[in-house]
Amino acid sequence: MTAVSRELLVKYATSAPRYTSYPTAVDWSKDFDPKRYPALLERAAADKGPLSVYVHLPFCAELCLFCGCNMIVSNSVSRIDAYLDALEREFDFVGRSGIGKRAVRQYHWGGGTPTQLDLAQIERVQKAFSKYFHFSEDAEVGIEVDPRVTNREQVRLLAELGFNRISMGVQDFDPQVQVAIKREQSEAQTREIVDAARQRGMGSVNIDLMYGLPHQTEAGFADTVERVLRIRPERVALFHYAHVPWLKRHQEAMDIAALPSSELKLTIFLRAIDQFRAAGYEYVGLDHFALPSDEMAVAHREKNLGRNFMGYTTRRGDDMVSLGVSSIGDVAGCFVQSNPRENEYKAAIAEHGHAIHRGHELSADDRLRRDVILGLMCNGELRKAPIEKAHGIRFDETFAAELAQLGPLAADGLVALHPDRIEVTELGQLFLRNVALPFDRYYARRMQDGDQKPAFSKTL
């Protein structure tokens, strides 16, 4: 187990972005005109590179207290159908731009709980996609499921529709923790859906775990990890619970007195790392583990792992088209987000065909810093020469101040500063967001302006 002193823990336990994008959504410009979206789609349609497509299906049967997603608690078939009416119109609007001529290499349904949809509704969404889009031969086609509401018939249909990757939340198998977070899910339910996916030929199964939840103990979470290891998913995401009640009001119901301390959280996390590594998994990026044969582990070893609004990926498209309420896309050099409110989303679709209500056009500096930050976040190493070539800079001159800020991190053993590269150490991987922070110009400006408003979760 990597040793981490309390001094380091206190020094680096701050709030920071997870950097699924740069700039982060809180730093997008205020003057972006959503009316630009049709022109952005048409510009992107003229390119030839692969696409990522994300579909947001926000409905859940019940609310989990830890959830940070944009979701809607409803079991109403008619309400879901009304949402799908709008989603179909959005697919038609986007599809008419011609962007679907580009092959889709990464496709994902997120939520919410996409398997809250019944069989007919699942087919309906995929039919709307297939009307305008097509997959590349090597496409990753993934979906998030909840084993408590997913059945074998849904898994069968999803496999027939081309889905080859399935991801499901567990968080923790400890009954006391499950009651505290309002998500009671048995190991048997989880195994049932994993087995169904494998029997239908889905070659990649991901399980999400979460540490930092109420009543978690080192021994209790170690037992959860052992149970997951017996299931043997190809990938595991081990997330740190993000307590952000100023963004997600339902988290105010969480018993914060029962949350583990920072020291205990780190102990839980370090022991889990040891367990996964002992079982043959490789530690990938910020919070993922993968079997050595899995594409994610291979991409990490070969230093070409990607990251976008869907998280870590091996099949990132050159542009990302996102559909559904609150969904965030990356189109023709601009980030764009649809309205996060269900009724306003549906009204905008009815009026305009899309519901983009804000965005951000990346500047040259944004693109440069994005490549630096995501390089560190994805591969644990940043080579200076490719950055210099891609952006026409001299790295040490452009980032002299940032390299100086990394000096104390190097002294603490978090990074190694070489003439040709920045290398994140094994210890530094635990503080990966801290390593990226010096390159975030927007974060630095907020700190200089004395902005103390909470915006991000704690790093540890």
Q: Whose CA is closest to 308, among 330, 327, 324?
A: 330
Whether 275 and 371 map to the same domain: the answer is no
- The torsion defined by the Cα of 381, 1, 234 and 167, in degrees rounded to 10, comes to -90
- What is the average pLDDT value for the chain, to the nearest integer? 93
- Of the two residues 208 and 315, the one the predictor is more confident about is 208
Q: Give domain status of residue 358, yes or no.
A: no
pLDDT of residue 145: 97
**For residues 62 and 149, what is the distance between their CA atoms, to the nearest angstrom?**
11
312 and 383 together in one domain:
no
Question: What three-state secondary structure class fits 15?
Answer: strand
Per the domain annotation, does 334 fall within a domain? no
**What H or E segment, with its residue span, contains residue 392?**
none
- Which region among 74-88, 236-250, 320-334 has the lowest average model confidence (pLDDT)? 236-250
Q: Is 333 within a domain?
A: no
| Chosen domain end from 305, 321, 337 | 321
Res. 8 pLDDT band, cuts 50 70 90: confident
Q: Are residues 398 and 317 in the same domain?
A: no
C-alpha 38/C-alpha 46 separation (Å) is 13
State pTM to two decimals.
0.94
Does residue 459 have a pLDDT over 70?
no
What local confidence, expressed as pLDDT, does residue 455 receive? 60
The answer to whether residue 246 scores a pLDDT higher than 90 is: no
φ/ψ region of 456 (left if φ > 0, alpha if ψ in -120 to 50, else beta) reads beta
- Three-state SS at 365: helix
Summarised one tens digit per residue, pLDDT across range 14-47 is 778 889 889 999 899 999 999 999 999 999 999 9
Q: Which CA distances in Å does 427 have to 1, 273, 338?
A: 10, 12, 38
Domain assignment present for residue 21? The answer is no
Domain count of the chain? 2
pLDDT at 286: 85
- Band (pLDDT 50/70/90 cuts) for residue 315 is confident
Give which of 28, 21, 25 is closest to 373, Cα–Cα. 21
Give the pLDDT score at 155: 98
Q: Do 228 and 373 share a structural domain?
A: no
In this prediction, residue 451 carries a pLDDT of: 62
Instruction: Write down the pLDDT at residue 263.
Output: 86
Calpha distance 221→45 (Å, rounded)? 47
Confidence of residue 239 (pLDDT cuts 50, 70, 90): very high
Please tell me whether residues 77 and 148 are part of one structural domain.
Answer: yes
267 shares its domain with 385: no
Reference 35, options 332, 356, 441; nearest CA is 356
Judged by average pLDDT, the poorest of 2-6, 65-69, 350-354, 361-365 is: 2-6
- Measured CA to CA, the distance from residue 295 to residue 235 in angstroms comes to 10
Q: Is the pLDDT of residue 229 over 80?
A: yes
Task: Supply the CATH number for residue 385's domain.
Answer: 1.10.10.920
Q: 311 forms bridges with which residues in the sheet? A: 308
Which of residues 321, 348, 373 is at a domain's end?
321
Residue 218 maps to a domain: yes
- Percentage of the chain surpassing pLDDT 90? 77
Residue 280's φ and ψ, nearest 5 degrees, are 100, 5
d(Cα 429, Cα 414) in Å, to the nearest integer? 7
What's the CA gap between 433 and 15, in Å, rounded? 9
Q: How far apart are CA 195 and CA 198, in angstroms?
A: 5
Task: Give the pLDDT score at 411.
Answer: 96
Of the residues 259, 292, 321, the one at which a domain ends: 321
Short-list 448, 355, 440, 459, CA closest to 27: 440
Looking at residues 349-364, what average pLDDT do you find?
A: 97
Same domain assignment for residues 216 and 85: yes
- Closest among 144, 119, 120, 148 to 61, alpha carbons compared: 148
Spatial CA neighbour of 394 closest among 419, 430, 370, 415: 419
Confidence of residue 1 (pLDDT cuts 50, 70, 90): very low
Domain assignment present for 43: yes
For residue 334, report the phi and psi dihedrals to the nearest 5 degrees. Answer: -130, 140
Which residue would you say has higher pLDDT here, 315 or 346?
Answer: 346
Q: Are 282 and 402 found together in one domain?
A: no
Domain of residue 54, residue span? 27-321
Q: What letter represents residue 25's amino acid?
A: A
pLDDT at 2: 60
Average pLDDT over residues 79-102: 98
Q: Given the DSSP bridges, would you call strands 104-110 and 135-145 parallel, antiparallel or unpaired?
A: parallel
Which pLDDT belongs to residue 51?
A: 97
Supply the pLDDT for residue 457.
65
Please indicate, yes or no, whether residues 381 and 442 belong to a single structural domain of this protein. yes
Q: What angle do CA 199, 200, 203 make, to 5 degrees?
A: 90
169 and 109 both lie in a single domain? yes
> Are residues 374 and 317 located together in one domain of the fold?
no
Phi (first) and psi of residue 188, to 5 degrees: -65, -40
Q: Strand pairing of 72-73 and 59-60? A: parallel
Q: Determine contact, residues 121/144, Cβ cutoff 8 Å.
A: no
- The residue-averaged pLDDT of 50-57 equals 97
- Integer Cα distance of 183 and 169 in angstroms: 10
Judge if 311 and 371 occupy the same domain.
Answer: no
Report yes or no on 19 lying in a domain. no
Q: Which residues 6+ apart lie within 8 Å of 411 measured at CB?
A: none
Comparing CA positions, the residue from 29, 24, 28, 19 lying closest to residue 373 is 19
β strands within 297-440, DSSP E: 306-308, 311-313, 319-323, 328-331, 334-338, 356-361, 381-383, 415-417, 421-424
Question: CATH number, domain at 37?
Answer: 3.80.30.20
In a domain, 456, yes or no: no
pLDDT tens-digit profile of 396-449? 999 999 999 999 999 999 999 999 999 999 999 889 999 999 999 998 887 776
Q: Does pLDDT of 454 surpass 60?
A: no
